[in-house]
């Protein structure tokens, strides 16, 4: 059974803040109720990766704010540039990406979409989470579509798709 990823700053300024851009994502056809991986990054031997970066305090200088506007590309049952709906899940998986070692839902796609235009006092945050991912593990972003997005194809190249996520990288 997967552990829960929990906001727990530990590495602080010893971690390097690494952005994840929309161009790093992969296209995928969504299935209602299933977590579909749309981003994965393997941890190299000399690093530890953590989901998020920085403090749980909104006022701290190293706070990590996030947003995402995930869109359909017109493949599957959707039309180009349709807004996708459902839940966004962060995961740490094993070397084969078959087993989820830790996971956390960070909210709905709708909430992440709205976060982009919010003031800093309202934006969603992604502080450093534990446990970290070590050698040969993967950080994954998954979409768990609801019935409205079932069969639609997530397309990171859709005209309006964009995001801002971060992970921390620590040298061993």
CATH number at residue 65: 2.60.120.1170
- Say what the pLDDT of residue 88 is: 96
Say what the pLDDT of residue 78 is. Answer: 81
13 three-state secondary structure: helix
Instruction: Give the per-residue pLDDT at 1.
Output: 76
pLDDT tens readout for residues 36-59: 999 999 999 999 999 999 999 888
**Looking at the predicted structure, is the pLDDT value of residue 172 above 90?**
no
Task: Look at residue 159 in the predicted model and tell me its pLDDT.
Answer: 62
Confidence of residue 13 (pLDDT cuts 50, 70, 90): confident
Tell me the average pLDDT across 159-166: 81
pTM given for the model: 0.93
- Considering only CA atoms, which of 81, 69, 66, 70 is closest in space to residue 36? 70
The rounded percent of the chain whose pLDDT value lies above 90 is: 72
- Does pLDDT of 157 surpass 90? no
Quick: pLDDT tens for 81-132. 889 999 999 999 999 999 999 999 999 999 999 998 998 889 999 999 999 9
> Peptide bond before 131: cis, by omega within 30 degrees of 0?
yes
Separation between Cα atoms, residue 166 and residue 106, nearest integer Å? 13
Please give the residue range of the domain that contains residue 94.
3-171
- Whether the CB-CB separation of 111 and 122 falls below 8 Å is answered with no
CA distance 88 to 18: 19
Cβ-based neighbour number of residue 75 at 10 Å: 16
Cβ proximity of 161 and 71 under 8 Å: yes
Per the structure block, which two tokens stand in for 160? 């309006």
Domains in the chain: how many in total?
A: 1
Q: Which residue has the tokens 């450093």?
A: 128
**Residue scoring higher pLDDT (40 or 74):** 40
**What is the rounded average pLDDT of the residues 19-27?**
92
- Averaged pLDDT of the chain: 92
Let me know: does 96 contact 40? Beta carbons within 8 Å: no
**Burial class (CB within 10 angstroms; exposed 0-12, middle 13-18, buried 19+) of 37:** middle
């Amino acid at each position: 059974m997967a552990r829960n990823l929990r906001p727990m700053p530990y590495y602080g300024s010893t971690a390097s803040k690494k952005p994840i851009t929309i161009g790093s994502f992969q296209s995928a056809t969504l299935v209602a109720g299933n977590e579909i991986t749309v981003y994965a990054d393997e941890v190299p031997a000399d690093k530890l990766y953590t989901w998020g970066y920085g403090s749980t305090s909104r006022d701290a200088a190293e706070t990590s704010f996030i947003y995402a506007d995930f869109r359909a590309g017109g493949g599957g049952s959707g039309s180009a540039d349709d807004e996708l709906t459902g839940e966004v899940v962060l995961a740490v998986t094993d070397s084969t990406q078959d087993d989820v070692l830790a996971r956390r839902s960070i909210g709905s796609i709708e909430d992440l979409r709205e976060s982009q235009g919010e003031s800093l006092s309202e934006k969603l945050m992604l502080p450093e989470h534990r446990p970290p991912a070590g050698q040969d593990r993967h950080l994954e972003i998954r979409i768990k579509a609801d019935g409205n997005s079932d069969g639609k194809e997530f397309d990171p190249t859709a005209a309006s798709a964009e995001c801002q996520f971060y992970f921390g990288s620590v040298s061993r």
